[in-house]
Structure 1
Amino acid sequence: MDKPLVVVVMGVAGTGKTTIGPLLAERLGVPYAEGDDFHPPANIAKMSAGVPLEDADRWPWLDAIGRWAGGRAGLGGVVSSSALKRAYRDRLRTAAPGVVFLHLSGDRALIGERMAGRRGHFMPTALLDSQFATLQPLGEDEAGVAVDVSGTPEEITDRAVTALRRCPAPSNAPLS
């Protein structure tokens, strides 16, 4: 990693984006932004009520994350975003062409168990199946890596840093 990366920590709810993101940012020496903070109140109300978001709900949220990531170009940063569909990642790459994705992935049972143990988060466990149904893993032509979420946060972060060091530099053009 010759220059600071802008990393989007992605994955379904419960994979640890909010835990791993700040740890990764600290290890890389860059700022962290919590993707959930970019949601408008209407999105949070929907998800809190157990209603999955539609694409129309996600576009303004993704645009806000993309503006933050784009503003970090050359400076580095880490931001969390589920970024479940290729179209969502394409939208982020349009705003921040050099972004790299870290896909936190894992077994449905493990992630469900972790979600069930969370307190104070607006995303109910009931929406996990819709998240898995929506998930489109990174394509071979997308700049990024997948890291398994088993183990401690420190172990996951270690695997993420190692994988990102091996990740080819992203091109400056958005993929389509």
Structure 2
Amino acid sequence: MTHRIVIMGVSGCGKSSVGAALGQSLGIPYRDGDDLHTAANVEKMRAGIPLTDADRWPWLARVAQVLHDQAPVIVGCSALRRTYRNHIRAGAGAHLRFVHLAGSRDLIAARLAARTGHYMPTTLLDSQFATLEPPTPDEALTLDIALPLQALVDAILADIKGETA
């Protein structure tokens, strides 16, 4: 099976860490969705201005294109609303799965505050949570980010194995 996996959630939930570790376990590349944003989007976020849907649509199309063209691949992407996930699904191709990394606002805020070298300010966290439409169980595997990194990776691997068994 060709894996197309989106690691999703609000900024600071661990998409990059989980995606890179999962990619290493599966032997497939991880692409950070942050790298697919336009320079204008990055500047807006750096300035503490939340993105609008008009800002997001071209980015989501690039995420879907990477999933389609570079599979097998894992992409980290917030995919906060169901409509965004549907947009990605429409362009990504078959065998697409979403993994939602969920956690408390306090835990994620602490992680964001400790993070260096990233353009996303902690001040945008509330807008991320306000936008988030948590996926239903039939739409994504949801995992608690309070779990250790390896436990998260193991849970995703077990889910993948269960689907292909």
TMscore range, shorter length: over 0.9
Give the equivalent residue in structure 1 for 2:81: 85
Cα distance between partner residues in 2 of 1:112 and 1:167 = 34
Structure having the larger proportion of residues in helix: 2
In structure 2, stretches of 5+ residues that fail to align are none
Is 2:32–2:75's contact at 8 Å kept on the other side of the alignment? Answer: yes
Is 1:33–1:79's contact at 8 Å kept on the other side of the alignment? Answer: yes
Give, in angstroms, the shift of residue 163 of structure 1: 3.1
Give the equivalent residue in structure 2 for 1:172: none
TM-score, normalised with respect to structure 2: 0.93
TM-score, normalised with respect to structure 1: 0.87
SS in 2 for 1:70: helix
Give, in angstroms, the shift of residue 139 of structure 1: 2.6
Aligned with 1:130 (options 105, 127, 130): 127
Residues 6-51 of structure 1 show CA distances to partners (whole Å, capped at 9, x for unaligned) of: 1000000110001111111111121111100100000000000000
- 2:115 is the alignment partner of 1:118: yes
CA-based RMSD of the aligned residues comes to: 1.7
Give the equivalent residue in structure 1 for 2:136: 139
Superposed, 1:59-70 pairs within 5 Å as: 59-70=57-68
Moved over 4 A (4+): none
Give, in angstroms, the shift of residue 141 of structure 1: 4.0
SS in 2 for 1:121: coil
Cα distance between partner residues in 2 of 1:149 and 1:25 = 18
- 2:144 is the alignment partner of 1:148: yes
Cα distance between partner residues in 2 of 1:63 and 1:100 = 16
Cα distance between partner residues in 2 of 1:107 and 1:166 = 28
In structure 1, stretches of 5+ residues that fail to align are 170-176
Give, in angstroms, the shift of residue 153 of structure 1: 2.0
